[in-house]
Amino acid sequence: TSYLPRVFVTRSAPAAGLARLGQHCHMTVHEKENAPTREELLQGVRGMDALFVHPSTRIDKEVLDAAGPQLKVIGTYSVGLDHIDLDLCKERSIKVSHTPGVLTTATAELAVTLVLATAKRLEECIRAVKEGVWGTRWENALWLVGKQISGSVVGIVGLGRIGLAIAERLAAFGLSKIVYTGRAPKPESADPIGAEFLSFDELLKQSDFVIVSCSVDESNKNIFNTGAFKKMKPSSIFVNVSRGAIVDQKALYEALKSGQIGAAGLDVTTPEPLPPSDPLLTLPNCLVVPHIGSLTDSTRNIMCELVVDNILAGLEGRPLLSPAF
């Protein structure tokens, strides 16, 4: 009898991709709405040959030990890899794949949405109309005054695939300039829009919009701290579509509350989900959406197909389509 490889899926994913995986593997899906608890995870991974994981699930030594030495491949349903101990996977010859490229457009569209929504104070506007405040305030000519995007300086933190796609879309608004920061300046071929490379501090100083689209690891955790927000313009808008961990959220709260910066639009927070009692949600100038960057009809299906293709490749000993290392 032939052995069917065993796969654990940590959270449900689009049906077509999972069905295909199920044809080749003995598949266990954690069907609940929420990510598995640590206990459910440690139990679920036992004896698995492959794991289909999401960013909400941390894959560290304890999880790899619990899985056992037969574990061959981990496919994450994300471009971000911050939840996986990649060094240990390498050391143990466990292959790891992610989903770069296929979610670039969806995530860039969301970043542009957050830029527009925060600049035009959309959430406050909608609430004012619904709560009947419109009729009492509109004679004040500057009530709900928004921010013009044309003529502004846009600063991108991480001009990778997603950062570039954001910059290209915002360029259509007629910006004064686009600047970026990152580990090193990009070669001209990787920067078709001719963005200007600046140090982190200089970007904070010059930008009207600071947009974070980089990957996050130990090296850039909490770089948006009190000191960073102090360097930004009081009118500036902070947009984050990467990971909450790049921000000291208490410092962000203080900066928004005191007017050190103008507004924030966040797709990512610490923790996720953000509890409704979080102080950030009491601020009129902070817009939070529930990590929907890649959440479009077409993108999520393609992401799932790519995870499945990677897992099957890994199980069959073929090279991965989109390896993490």
Measured CA distances, 157 to 188, 242, 246, 281, 321 (Å): 17, 10, 11, 24, 27
The SS3 call for residue 50 is: strand
Which residues between 81 and 110 bind ligand 8YV (CB under 6 A)?
103
**Integer Cα distance of 311 and 7 in angstroms:** 9
Preceding peptide of 275 cis, ω within 30°: no
Which residues between 182 and 241 bind ligand 8YV (CB under 6 A)?
none
Which residues between 293 and 312 bind ligand 8YV (CB under 6 A)?
293-294
Taking CB under 6 A as the binding criterion, the range among 110-118, 137-145, 289-297, 309-317 that sits at the site for ligand 8YV is 289-297
Taking CB under 6 A as the binding criterion, the range among 142-150, 192-200, 253-261, 286-294 that sits at the site for ligand 8YV is 286-294
**Smallest distance, ligand 8YV to C-beta of residue 294, A:** 3
User: Which pair of structure tokens corresponds to residue 297?
Assistant: 């009809």
Give the H/E segment covering residue 73. strand 73-76
**Straight-line distance from the first to the last Cα atom of the chain, in angstroms, rounded to the nearest whole number:** 34
Q: How many CB atoms lie within 10 A of CB 148?
A: 11
Q: Does 83 qualify as catalytic in the annotation?
A: no
Q: CB-based burial of residue 229 (10 Å sphere; 0-12 exposed, 13-18 middle, 19+ buried)?
A: buried
Under the binding rule (CB under 6 A), the answer on residue 55 touching ligand 8YV is yes
| 52 neighbors 9 (Cβ within 8 angstroms) | yes
Under the binding rule (CB under 6 A), the answer on residue 291 touching ligand 8YV is yes
**Beta carbon nearer to ligand 8YV, 100 or 185:** 100
Q: Which residue in 30, 54, 98, 291 is the catalytic one?
A: 291
Under the binding rule (CB under 6 A), the answer on residue 113 touching ligand 8YV is no
Under the binding rule (CB under 6 A), the answer on residue 158 touching ligand 8YV is no
Taking CB under 6 A as the binding criterion, the range among 71-79, 171-179, 192-200, 316-324 that sits at the site for ligand 8YV is 71-79
**Beta carbon nearer to ligand 8YV, 18 or 179:** 18
**Smallest distance, ligand 8YV to C-beta of residue 59, A:** 13
Give the H/E segment covering residue 229. helix 226-231
Catalytic residues: 291
Chain residues in the site for ligand 8YV (CB under 6 A): 54-55, 77-80, 103, 291, 293-294
